[in-house]
Amino acid sequence: MEHVIDIPKTRKEYMEEILRLKKEKNAVLLAHYYQEADIQDLADYVGDSLGLSRKAAETDADIIVFAGVHFMAETAKIINPNKKVILPDVNAGCSLADSAQPGPFKEFVDAHPDHIVVTYINCTAEIKAMSDIICTSSNAVDIINSIPKDQKIICAPDRNLGEYLIHQTGRDLLLWDGACMVHEAFAMDKILDLHKEHPKAKFIAHPESTQNILRISAFVGSTEKLLNFVQEDDSEEFIIATEAGILHEMQKRVPHKKLIAAPAKDDNTCACSECHYMKMNTLEKLYACLKNELPEVDVPEDIRKKALVPLERMLDLSK
C-alpha cells in the first residue's frame, strides 16, 4: 500500500498550516526583523531584541515559537520557565554569542572584581548568569548612563558596540573582544561607490558595525530605531548597514522610499549582508517545529535563576 505523508506542498499551504497550528496550540510566534519575509508576515510580533524580550515577558501563550537565533529563544525561556519555548532550527547560533565562552569569560570577570558587568543580550544564558545588567542596542546608552560615574564597567561581548558606547557616553569601558560577523563584513569601498551612484541617499548603520562605518553614518541605531528613522526622516533614499532582512519591514513602512542594503566584502559567505544563522529558520522548519513542538530550548534551573536577575534589571530600566 502506498504510504502518504500528509505535509503541505506549496509555500501557501505551509503558511496556512502554520497559522492553524499556532491557533490550535495557543502558540505565539515571535520573529526578529532578520527573519525571511514570509516568517515575518506570519508572526504575531516582529521586533528588535528589546521588543522581543518584552513580548516574551508579557505573553500568556502556552508555547513560544521563536523565529530568531538560539540566544533569543534562551532569553524567552529564562523569562518563562513554565512555558515551552521552541526554535525552528536549534543550530541557529550567533558569532557574537560564540565569541564569549563561559571559561575565559569567567576568568576575565574574576580578574576585575571592582567592575560591574554590562552584557549585550547577544550571549548565552551562562554568560548572562555572570552579568550584572543586560542591554540591547536599543537601550545600551541609557543603561550605561544609569550607572554611577565612578563605577568601573566591563562591557561585553561586542567590541564595536562597546567602542560606540565609549564614544556616546564618554565612559571608560573595559571591552571584551567579540564581534558580529555580518556587521563586521560591510565593505567601505563598495559603500562609497554606492554612495556616488546615489548621492542623495542617507547612510545609516547598526552599532554592531565597525567604527569606520559608524563614523560615516548619518544615524546609528538598533533595528527598531533604524526603522523609525527612515519613517521620520525627510530623505527619500537610504543605504542601510545592518542585516538585509530588515528591508522587508522597512519597505512596508515606507513603500515610496528607495532602500538599499549596504554591500558586504566579497570574502563574506555571500557578500549579501545576510546572517546565515538567522536564515537557518525556514518555513518548512517552522511548520515541523510547531507540529512536533521540537526542538525545545531549555536552560538549567541554576543558570536560569542567575541569568534572570540581570535581564529583569534591564527590563525594569527600560520601561
Name the site residues for ligand SF4 (rule: CB under 6 A).
69, 94-96, 122, 180-182, 208, 243, 275, 277-278
- Closest alpha carbon to 272 in 243, 251, 249: 243
Q: Pick from 59, 137, 160, 217: which binds ligand 13P (CB under 6 A)?
A: 137
Distances (CA, A) of 37 to 40, 106, 187, 278: 5, 39, 25, 12
Q: Pick from 208, 261, 274, 308: which binds ligand 13P (CB under 6 A)?
A: 208
Query: CB-hemisphere CA count at 13 Å for 99?
Result: 18
Distances (CA, A) of 83 to 53, 57, 110, 308: 14, 11, 34, 15
Work out whether 158 is an interface residue with ligand 13P (CB under 6 A).
Answer: no
Q: Pick from 40, 53, 75, 122: which binds ligand 13P (CB under 6 A)?
A: 122
Work out whether 59 is an interface residue with ligand 13P (CB under 6 A).
Answer: no
Work out whether 184 is an interface residue with ligand 13P (CB under 6 A).
Answer: no
Distances (CA, A) of 84 to 25, 30, 243, 288: 11, 13, 28, 15
Query: Of ligand SF4, ligand 13P, none, which one sits near residue 49, judging by CB under 5 to 8 A according to partner kind?
Result: ligand 13P
Cβ of residue 122: shortest distance to ligand SF4, in angstroms? 5
CB atoms within 10 A of CB 270: 12
CB atoms within 10 A of CB 250: 23
Residue whose CB is less far from ligand 13P, 21 or 182: 182
Count of positions on this chain that bind ligand 13P (CB under 6 A): 11
The answer to whether 208 is annotated as binding is: yes
The answer to whether 120 is annotated as binding is: yes
Cβ of residue 122: shortest distance to ligand 13P, in angstroms? 6
The answer to whether 312 is annotated as binding is: no
Q: Pick from 53, 59, 124, 136: which binds ligand 13P (CB under 6 A)?
A: 136
Question: Within its chain, how far is the Cα of 104 from the centroid?
Answer: 23
Query: Of ligand SF4, ligand 13P, none, which one sits near residue 274, judging by CB under 5 to 8 A according to partner kind?
Result: none
- What is the DSSP secondary structure assignment for residue 29, as one 8-state letter? E
- The amino acid sitting at 83 is K
Q: Pick from 223, 268, 273, 281: which binds ligand 13P (CB under 6 A)?
A: 223
Look up cell 508579557; give the residue: 58
User: CB neighbours of 198 closer than 8 A, spacing ≥ 6?
Assistant: 237, 239, 258, 260
Query: Of ligand 13P, ligand SF4, none, which one sits near residue 48, judging by CB under 5 to 8 A according to partner kind?
Result: ligand 13P
> Of 130-138, 194-202, 282-290, 302-310, which part binds ligand 13P (CB under 6 A)?
130-138
Distances (CA, A) of 233 to 203, 219, 257: 12, 10, 11
The answer to whether 121 is annotated as binding is: yes
Nearest-10 crossing angle of helices 11-24, 283-292: 30
Cβ of residue 103: shortest distance to ligand 13P, in angstroms? 23
- The sign of the torsion formed by the CA atoms of 242, 245, 248, 253 equals negative
> What cell numbers appear for 26 in the block?
495557543
Q: Which residues are annotated as a binding site?
A: 32, 49, 94, 120-122, 137, 180, 206-208, 223, 275
Q: Which residues are annotated as a binding site for [4Fe-4S] cluster?
A: 94, 180, 275
Binding footprint of ligand 13P on the chain (CB under 6 A): 48-49, 122, 136-138, 180, 206, 208, 222-223
